[in-house]
Chains A and B, each alone.
Chain A
Amino acid sequence: MRRHGFVAGFLLLPVALYLVFVISPYAQAFQIALTDWRGVSAGLNYVGLDNFRRLFGNDAFWQAIRNHAVLLVALPLATIALALAFAYLLNAQGGVKGSGFYRVVFFLPQVLAVAVVGVLFKAVYRPDSSGVLNGALMKVGLEPAGWLTDQRLALWSIIAVMVWQAVGFYVVLFSAGMAAIPKDVFEAAALDGAGRLTLFFRITLPLIWDTVQVGWIYLGIAAFDAFALVNVLSIEQGGPDGATTVLATEIYKNAFGYSRFGYASAMGVALFFLTLTFAAVTMRVTRRERIVY
């Protein structure tokens, strides 16, 4: 009997807190998505799938989806490629000189707040010679670029910051995987005359494939967020002219800017199903035979 009291006592507070602040909002979101609620009326007025119909006819929504598609491909690809290369260089032949230092430096952006990083890069990207990038460009006689104001550049400038911040995490992750591969596997292959590239693609990569897959999912989920960076870094929160907008930004704007709570919730539901689909598809596509060593 005392045992049951103990179990219940230990679970009461965490479960209660979790139900109130996490589960109930998630459940309500699906409900509010079916209403035209604007936050003032006491009752909910159900409008069926109206919000979703409006959503699918809305340009801003599709612009955000297009941006997510770009993010979803570019962010993992660039981050994983760089991280794999750096991790390989750091681990080759028992590690290059100063590998400890590089590991510390590369990981550093990971501990900085995204919002703070956004403000920092806003200064780096400034359009005239007072921005680091354009200052350097003009020094060598090139035209300054509108990193955040040019429609074609803005999203890429933001992706670059995301990659800048993320790479170090995956270097550490992949390094751990690479360090776990027994040395004699490499020695045997090298004796057979395999070059460095062959070693990388035929041995290292297949053996840490599981970790790469985990990294891909993490970065994919990050590609569905991007809120803090877009909100702080881009001009007009998602601009110029929607060029950098993401679903999270649209949800925030519609809810807390225009009080369109029903519509914003519908967008949240769409985001949820997109994330879920991504996770399911990735798991299926990247599943491979696990190599035991």
Chain B
Amino acid sequence: MRRRLFGGLSQAVLAVWALLIIGPLIWTLLASFKSNSEIFGDALQLPGELRWDNWLRAWEKANVGTYLLNTVVVVFFGVLGTMLLSSMAAYVLARYRFPGNRAIYFLFVSGMAFPVFLALVPLFFVVDGLGLLNSHVGLVLVYIAYSLPFTVFFLTSFFRGLPDAVAEAAMMDGASHTRTFFQIMLPMAKPGLVSLTIFNVLGQWNQYLLPLVLLPGDKNKWVITQGIADISTIAGYEADWPALFAALSMTVLPVVVAYIVFQRHIQSGLTSGAVK
């Protein structure tokens, strides 16, 4: 009896929280089909009809298409660069002895202790000085640089845990150091690389502060987080709230779908950092 009661009660508690999570998202999706007057009417009402033109306006007039494309490009190269450079550095730091090894390792790891806001002002001028302000190249390089500490830290411990025998055998067979790394060691590190790729994709996709500071000018270069925040301000002036909700839905939906497909990997990828 008490066991049944406990089961029912826990179901109720968990269901309430689930509803609190899903509720706002469903509401946003519904609002993306509403007309302006419906949005400013009763919040808990369903849209009168499916107004796809809201979505069209968001995609074309509000630039969401451009913002999403920019984000995909920046995150693609950002994560590719992060993973390549981090695994190279981590591999060497984990498996080769040379003077300065410890020092370089600690240099990387210490980067995790600093809040990025401390670097903000000088970073802006460093990027500006290199002529990379308002450019995707600049943003990609900065993303890579700020993803290095955690990624190198994590991958170093991963490469340390790999067995020596395979690498030694490959070297005996005449493989160069570089070839051993790319053809033998990197494939062996796949589980770690997958976790960190997911971790970095999410981190860079969701980044808001750095694009805000480093892409302040040209709207055509903006990424999605900047764009959405901007649309929410504009919607106040131009009163196109349906397009804002459509823009939000367009941003959230692909992420939710990707999350549902890869949720196991994503959950372990994001939490593995905390367990280490």
Chain B contacts for A26, CB-based, 8 A: 114, 118-119, 122
Interface residue? B108 (CB, 8 A):
yes
B121 touches A265 (CB 8 A): yes
Query: Chain B nearest CB: distance from A169 CB in Å?
Result: 7
Interface stretch (choices B24-32, B54-62, B161-169, B186-194): B24-32
Task: Say yes or no: A114 contacts B119, CB within 8 Å.
Answer: no
CB of B14 within 8 A of CB of A86, answer yes
Query: What's the dominant secondary structure at chain B's contact region?
Result: helix
Q: Which of B10, B13, B24, B212 contacts A120, CB < 8 Å?
A: B24
Known contacts A10-B89, A113-B225; A255/B120 CB under 8 A: yes
A158 to chain B, nearest CB (A): 15
Given the contacts A14-B152, A116-B248, A256-B216, A275 and B145 also touching, CB distance less than 8 Å: no
**In the complex, what distance in Å separates the CA atom of A23 from the CA atom of B206?**
23
A182 to B125, CA, bound (A): 55
Inter-subunit contact A132/B23 (CB<8 Å):
yes
> What sequence of 0s and 1s flags, for each residue 18-57 of chain B, a beta carbon within 8 Å of any chain A beta carbon?
1011111101100100000001111110000000000000
Residue pair A10, B91 in contact (C-beta under 8 Å):
yes
Residue of chain A at shortest CB distance from B241: A123
Which chain B residues lie closer than 8 Å to A255 at the CB level? 120-121, 124
> At the interface, yes or no: A110 with Cβ under 8 Å from chain B?
yes
- Does A106 interact with chain B (Cβ within 8 Å)? yes
Most buried by A among B86, B181, B267: B267
Does A104 belong to the interface (CB within 8 Å)?
Answer: yes
Partner of A214, one of B10, B111, B125, B274: B274
Decide yes or no whether B213 CB sits under 8 A from chain A.
yes
Residues of B within 8 A of A293 (CB): none
Chain B min CB distance to A39 (Å): 8
Query: Contacting B259 at CB < 8 Å: which of A111, A123, A131, A261?
Result: A111
Beta-carbon contact of A271 and B117 below 8 Å? yes
Residue of B nearest to A255 (CB): B121
Q: Whole-angstrom distance from the CB of B180 to the nearest CB of chain A?
A: 10
| Residues in chain A near residue B111, CB distance under 8 A | 18, 22-23
Nearest Cβ on chain B to A8's Cβ, whole angstroms: 9
CB–CB A96/B177 < 8 A: no
Asked if B114 and A14 sit within 8 Å, CB to CB, the answer is no
Q: Is the CB of B21 within 8 A of A106?
A: yes
Is residue A194 within 8 Å, beta carbon to beta carbon, of the partner chain? Answer: no
B177 touches A2 (CB 8 A): yes
A-B contact pairs, 25 of them (CB 8 A): A6-B177, A7-B98, A11-B88, A17-B148, A18-B111, A18-B145, A20-B145, A21-B123, A25-B121, A89-B10, A92-B10, A97-B11, A98-B11, A106-B18, A108-B256, A113-B206, A113-B251, A115-B225, A120-B25, A120-B28, A120-B248, A225-B115, A248-B209, A265-B118, A272-B115
Given A89-B14, A116-B228, A120-B24; 20 other pairs, CB 8 A cutoff: A3-B96, A11-B104, A14-B152, A20-B126, A22-B119, A89-B10, A96-B10, A103-B267, A119-B244, A123-B28, A123-B244, A131-B43, A173-B271, A211-B275, A225-B115, A228-B208, A232-B208, A248-B209, A264-B121, A271-B118
